[in-house]
Structure 1
Amino acid sequence: MVISYETATYRRRFVFEYDRLIQGRSFLKEGERGEVYRGKVLEKIEGLGYLIDLGPFKGLCQEKVHLGAIETFEILKRQEDKHPLVTRSYGLMGESLILRAGQSLSFSREIPTTYRGLLEELDLSGVYFRREALKKPLYQVRKEYDELRQKQKEIEIKNQLGLVHRPPFKEEGDSYYFMELEEKILRLRRGKIDDRGIVLFFEPTRAGLVIDVNGVGKEEELNNTARDLIEESLILMNVGGLVIIDLVGTGKGYGAQDSLTKEGVLVQSLPVRGANLFYTPLKSLEQDYEELRHRLSKEF
């Protein structure tokens, strides 16, 4: 089951296997990878690249550009407390394809060879076909291509700086789940959860996220129960970077495949993609929760 929804600030997507959360991502709606902006080249910064005014914020381009020029840029990478990296080789992402000038025809690995032939017969140029192209009739794929081509032409004559294209997003799942997940995120951001006889404290630090496991009972049982709660919490909060977990006692019986010291401290390093919600201001998440609750209340 897939649950996807938007808040005022974020786009969230969660994948469940039965009732178990197995994947989750949260991305800021502004300044995230794949967004396309019109920008003006401001100056060259030695060793870093060119500073680009994108309207609401600035970016860094490491390709050769001309000072003062207004061009179109795609965000390649968002960097916390730094300017995002951008590229002139931008693409317009649609539901079934990405239109990128100068790109040879290419396909998602999930599109079988037999179906690629049908897509090739559409005679489209500068296109990467996403796996979603399998779910759309060919005439709709063609229509989406034509719409993106027209949008590309309109973008290239714009002089106003700012956002010109955002990747599409489709909400999936019942709104009941949206609120349930948002409530869990808010509780976690407040730094404490009490469940199944286990109390977990979460403290974001400059070094990384510190998790303190507390409970009364057998160490092995407590730590194995904590494992499931911690893994779900890290996925839900889209945690990346260093995670330090202080287990009960020596941590005997904790089944994770990571380094475990004799003091019962587990150290994990998780890949960073999207927004780590433990480092998001609590007030921002509270406002998002209230906005989402207000929006969904109109549906009933």
Structure 2
Amino acid sequence: MGSFETNISSVTSFTLTGFPEMEGLEHWLAALLLLLYAVSILGNSLILFIIKEEQSLHQPMYYFLSLLSVNDLGVSFSTLPTILATLCFHAPETAFDACLIQMFFIHFFSWTESGILLAMSFDRYVAICNPLHYSTVLTDTRVAHTGISIIIRSFCMVFPLPFLLKRLPFCKDNILTHSYCLHPDLIRLPCGDTTINSMYGLFIVVSAFGVDSVLILLSYVLILHSVLAIASQEERLKTLNTCVSHMCAVLIFYVPMVSVSMAHRFGKHHASPLAHTLMSSIYLFVPPVLNPIIYSVKTKPIQQGIVTVLSCKRELL
């Protein structure tokens, strides 16, 4: 009985395991992850710099893209400290409160990314289906209000999670299966009733990711309907090409996220621990790395901005 009455204060730290199945390859794994971090940080920083410097990119589409880049930087910096500590410095211990803070920011940026992708899909819908009113519908003020609303929604959804965990007694092994703190991982450890935590976690997944994904799908159904009304096949392809970058961003975010969620809820006893770890890593590492690459390759104004920046640097040298 005493162990159940012991509050969370008795648990001072968690042990992050990372990739125990890949023992002996830690140096290669650390090098790969550091490379991914470098690509993510440099790529997203370059996108932000180009949008800031190029006056022609001061448009709603690129404002949302800059929000996406800031968010991807947030995802990278949220996981970086414990990844470095676990894989590079062999210090897997993390303080309990630090773990909860990291969990908050990881999930906060995930919910924010979902909201940004929804806002970007609305931008594409207005640009294609109602182009004459684009500048009046998506004003700078409305874009700013949209960004603030996305941040407030994410904060309000994630804010209760640390407190719901803190109220529970922890009497099991304090070993986590990742190199960072995730709510589905932490919720396995309390020995008290976690029904409220599980129900709230499911509620916010459905109300945020579920609603956002349905609205994004609806926007593309309307976009496709509008595009099919265009007589010229060349114009159809040209119009759809403006959505390719966003569609790729949606897929590389939602497919790993759904896989992770399904694996944690329904594949606990069937999937190997390495599969869980790899899926979670893909979910957190792939979008911040690929988003700037996709937008750099598929968006001509961004390409021109990169060329301009490189040309200026050559002139300075």
Q: TM-score range by the shorter chain?
A: under 0.3
**TM-score, normalised on structure 2?**
0.25
Compare CA radii of gyration and give the structure with the larger one: 1
Q: Which has the higher contact order (CA 8 A, sep 6+)?
A: 2
Structure in which a larger fraction of residues adopt helix: 2
